[in-house]
Amino acid sequence: MKLKELLHYTFIFPVLAVGYYFSGLMENGVIYEIIAGILLTGSVLSAVHHAEVVAHKVGEPFGTIILALCITIIEVALIISLMVAGGDQAVTLARDTIFAAVMIILNGILGICILVGGVKYYEQFFARTSATTYLVSIVSILVLTLILPNFTSSVNGPFYNTPQLIFVSIACLVIYGVFLMVQTVRHRNYFIIAGDDPDSHYVPSKAATIISFIFLIICLIIVVLMAKGLSATIEDMVQSVGAPKSLVGVIIAGVVLLPEGVAAIRAARNNQIQSSVNLALGSALASIGLTIPAVSVVCIMYDIPFVLGLDRKDIILLSLSVFIVMLSLSRGKTNILYGTVLLVNLAAYIFTVIVP
């Protein structure tokens, strides 16, 4: 790679973030925390760029899988580190973050993509089979993990006991594993953009791909470390405005999903709504299908109570979101109304978090 390319912001921000984090300056006051937030955002955007470089090299649908898995790694690492540090006070953090991630993806990221594409192109087309395959897996895991715990009788409250938690974790992994096999082997054509010619896209060199992969890992690590370092500030900010603690989960999910959102919206603007659907729904599936088993292992090892079941209000909002997404993606084409309704659902969710 040329020196000019290495001076791009996607290489500068991660390096500056790493140096800033290990310098200890983050703990010196509000101004230093604001600088950390800027570097964190820059590192997230850098992760998007490097993930896209790798994605161009490996092609679809592997590219979207890589980005979705990277986002899930960030989410899992952040949730586990905060839960271990917070102990019993963080029993609902994983549930709140996972639920927030699903609501932001289904309503926010997908809604913005559909709206942006609808405004620019009126209608955009995608494979209905891909959306159906995603949604079948997502709905099953959502019910097993976030709704069923409210109705089991082995323990009181929205908990699973250890055997139940192990079973549900295995079920999530089985569903996600079979889905990956379908996406990458047996029915890969479901998820490839119709009429897309891979040879017409820029394909990075092997050296550029390796460098981007290394920087992608650096970005993911520093995002987790800096987000964890800023978590106390986020919690203090939420408490200072008198908002419920569940808002912390929304903020964490928003930070974690920023790379996914930027990449998906960029694809929609380029009239590649299939990539947007792959990114959004793939991230939602990975978020719950992999995060729940990972967090369950930690909770069992450290004997941390793990609240999974949602309350009635959140179940209604989740059901509404899934139902609207299923209707919006049922015809294989989009328009601005679908995007608008999804964004209104997101606004209702965030509003009821702040004003329950």
Q: C-alpha angle 68/216/41, rounded to 5°?
A: 85
pTM of the prediction? 0.83
Q: To which residue do tokens 């709504």 refer?
A: 273
Q: Name the token pair of 269.
A: 């603007």
Q: Which residues of the chain have pLDDT under 70?
A: 1-7, 60-61, 63-64, 85-90, 193-202
Tell me the C-alpha distance between 329 and 43, whole Å. 32
Tell me the C-alpha distance between 105 and 99, whole Å. 10
What pLDDT was estimated at residue 77?
75
Peptide bond into 305 cis (omega under 30): no
Q: Name the token pair of 322.
A: 């899934």
What pLDDT was estimated at residue 28?
77
What pLDDT was estimated at residue 200?
47
CATH architecture, domain 3-354? Up-down Bundle (1.20)
What pLDDT was estimated at residue 198?
44
Q: C-alpha angle 48/264/251, rounded to 5°?
A: 75
* pLDDT tens column, 76-105: 777 777 777 665 666 788 888 889 989 999
Which positions ≥6 away from 199 have C-beta within 8 Å? none
Tell me the C-alpha distance between 262 and 276, whole Å. 10
Q: Quick one: 280 exposed, middle or buried, by C-beta within 10 A (0-12, 13-18, 19+)?
A: buried
By the 8 A CB rule, do 126 and 333 touch? Answer: yes
What pLDDT was estimated at residue 88?
60
CA distances, 36 to each of 25, 69, 78, 294 (Å) = 9, 25, 16, 28
The single-letter DSSP state of residue 108 is: I
